[in-house]
Amino acid sequence: MRDLSLRSPAIYLYHGTLEDTASIIGLCQSHFPITAIIWVGELNNQSQVYLDVLNQWLVKRDYPKVSMGLCLTCHPEKIITDPPYRDWNWGQEECKAVVRLAGLPLPPKLLLTLS
């Protein structure tokens, strides 16, 4: 995960947490090339509603929607499995601020933390 500065296209494994959401926003706002965002969290009604909102935000910024499944072996890009918010020294409050400043609601309470 420490090689984000290389800027080679990547696939992001998205758990739907606050930290994951803030990390995706940070990557998008820094114009990091993401070729796919793949949902790897538990899917329920709350998370589906949130994904619809997040997907609208992503599409407006020319990023791919969150996919419910994809053949990872078909993509030669690196896979981001560890959200970069830690590398940026963001805690939960910074992650909340990033999500709010992006104009998105916070993820459902049950998905607020990854760790």
User: Average pLDDT per run of 10 along the chain, which is 115 residues long?
Assistant: 63 91 95 92 88 97 88 60 86 92 85 51
- The angle, 0 to 180 degrees and rounded to 10, between the axes of the packed helices 18-29 and 92-101 is 50
Q: If you ran DSSP here, which 8-state letter would residue 12 be given? A: E
Q: What is the pLDDT of residue 14?
A: 92
Examine residue 90 and state whether it is found in any structural domain, yes or no. Answer: yes
Examine residue 2 and state whether it is found in any structural domain, yes or no. Answer: no
Q: What is the pLDDT of residue 1?
A: 41
Q: How many domains does the chain have?
A: 1
Q: Which structural domain, as residue segments, surrounds residue 98?
A: 7-111
Examine residue 87 and state whether it is found in any structural domain, yes or no. Answer: yes
**What three-state secondary structure class fits 25?**
helix
What is this structure's pTM?
Answer: 0.76
CATH number, domain with residue 64: 3.40.50
Examine residue 1 and state whether it is found in any structural domain, yes or no. Answer: no
Q: If you ran DSSP here, which 8-state letter would residue 17 be given? A: -
First vs last C-alpha separation in the chain: 17
Examine residue 28 and state whether it is found in any structural domain, yes or no. Answer: yes
Examine residue 96 and state whether it is found in any structural domain, yes or no. Answer: yes
